[in-house]
Structure 1
Amino acid sequence: MPEITYLRGDATTPFGKGPKVIAHVCNDIGGWGKGFVLALSRRWPGPEAAYRAWHRGRAHNDFGLGAVQLVPVDRRLWVADMIGRRGVRTGSKGVPVRYEAIDTALARLAGEVIERGASVHMPRIGCGLAGGTWSRVEPLVTERLVRRGVQVTVYDHGEGGRWGRGPR
Structure 2
Amino acid sequence: MSEIAYIRGDATVPSVKGAKVIAHVCNDIGGWGKGFVLALSRRWPEPEAAYRAWHRERASNDFGLGALQLVRVKPDVWVANMIGQRGVRTGSKGVPVRYEAIDTALSRLADRVLELDASVHMPRIGCGLAGGKWSRVEPLVTERLVRRGIAVTVYDHGDG
Would the TM-score normalized by the shorter structure come out above 0.5?
yes
The secondary structure found in structure 2 opposite 1:6 is strand
How many aligned residue pairs are there? 160
* 2:126 aligned residue: 126
Instruction: Could you tell me which runs of 5 or more consecutive residues in structure 2 were left unpaired when the two chains were aligned.
Output: none
Deviations 1:39-59 (A, max 9, x none): 000000000000000000100
* 1:104 aligned residue: 104
Whole-angstrom CA distance in 1 between matches of 2:15 and 2:35: 21
* 1:91 aligned residue: 91
Report 1:14-25 matches (<5 A). 14-25=14-25
The secondary structure found in structure 1 opposite 2:158 is coil
Are residue 117 (structure 1) and residue 125 (structure 2) matched? Answer: no
Report 1:9-48 matches (<5 A). 9-48=9-48
Whole-angstrom CA distance in 1 between matches of 2:137 and 2:151: 16
Whole-angstrom CA distance in 1 between matches of 2:89 and 2:15: 32
- The aligned amino acid for 2:126 is G
The secondary structure found in structure 1 opposite 2:7 is strand
The secondary structure found in structure 2 opposite 1:84 is strand
Whole-angstrom CA distance in 2 between matches of 1:15 and 1:151: 13
Whole-angstrom CA distance in 2 between matches of 1:66 and 1:17: 29
Report 1:42-81 matches (<5 A). 42-81=42-81
- The aligned amino acid for 1:93 is K
The secondary structure found in structure 2 opposite 1:147 is helix
Whole-angstrom CA distance in 2 between matches of 1:3 and 1:73: 27
Whole-angstrom CA distance in 2 between matches of 1:118 and 1:2: 15
The secondary structure found in structure 2 opposite 1:2 is coil
Whole-angstrom CA distance in 2 between matches of 1:159 and 1:3: 25
Whole-angstrom CA distance in 2 between matches of 1:105 and 1:15: 24
Deviations 1:105-153 (A, max 9, x none): 0000000000000000000000000000000000000000000000000
Percent of residue pairs identical: 82
- The aligned amino acid for 1:116 is L
Report 1:151-166 matches (<5 A). 151-159=151-159
Instruction: Could you tell me which runs of 5 or more consecutive residues in structure 1 were left unpaired when the two chains were aligned.
Output: 161-168
* 1:165 aligned residue: none
Whole-angstrom CA distance in 2 between matches of 1:132 and 1:126: 5
Runs of 4+ aligned structure 1 residues displaced above 6 Å come to: none
- Calculate the aligned-residue CA RMSD, in Å: 0.9
Q: Give TM-score scaled by structure 1 length.
A: 0.94
Are residue 149 (structure 1) and residue 149 (structure 2) matched? Answer: yes
